[in-house]
Homo-oligomer: A and B are copies of this chain.
Amino acid sequence: MEQLPNMRLTTQRQIILEELSKVTSHPTANEVYDMVRRRLPRIGLGTVYRNLELMADVGVILKLEVGGTQKRFDATVEPHYHVRCSSCGKVDDIDIAVQEQINQVAEKASNYKILGHHIEFSGICSDCMGKNQETDIN
């Protein structure tokens, strides 16, 4: 899983990281693929998956396993929380203080060795708010 030695900084890896860093959204592997493909039309989807996974393992990027079916990736590795729009599925950062102390609370309340936590809010983004004013929401 972790191999720092002999890990090359290839053009593909560089551009994947660059493109991911450009956006504040939290793109899926497929979305990253689309972004990267504009600059490297011959890149394979497998390469994108492989390297996103690799970078997440090494800790250069963050792999989010949030609601919805796809994994999402984030160039910001500092701990922070997320909101997911229940309507369109988009994920944004939420800039509120990280509750580090609840890890200890959770550890006391369980017999797990707690390593960390993540908070995912669910809501309706302003875009969908406008569109689906009176429409069904889910």
Binding site for B on A (CB under 8 A): 1, 65-68, 81, 83, 85-86, 92, 94-96, 99, 102-103, 105-107, 109-126, 129, 136, 138
Given A65-B67, A65-B68, A66-B65, answer yes or no on A95-B109 (Cβ-Cβ < 8 Å): yes
Which residue from B65, B85, B119, B129 sits with its C-beta under 8 Å from A119?
B119
Which of chain B's residues have a CB closer than 8 A to the CB of A138?
Answer: 1
Instruction: Check A129–B113 contact: CB distance below 8 A.
Output: yes
Instruction: Check A126–B109 contact: CB distance below 8 A.
Output: no
Q: Given A107-B123, A114-B123, output 20 extra A-B contacts at Cβ < 8 Å.
A: A65-B66, A65-B68, A83-B114, A85-B112, A86-B115, A92-B110, A94-B106, A95-B110, A96-B109, A106-B121, A106-B123, A110-B121, A110-B123, A112-B126, A114-B122, A115-B121, A116-B123, A118-B119, A118-B120, A118-B122
Which of chain B's residues have a CB closer than 8 A to the CB of A110?
Answer: 83, 92, 94-95, 121, 123
A121: shortest Cβ distance to chain B, in Å?
Answer: 4
A59: shortest Cβ distance to chain B, in Å?
Answer: 12
Closest to A125 in B: B112
Which of chain B's residues have a CB closer than 8 A to the CB of A123?
Answer: 106-107, 110, 112-116
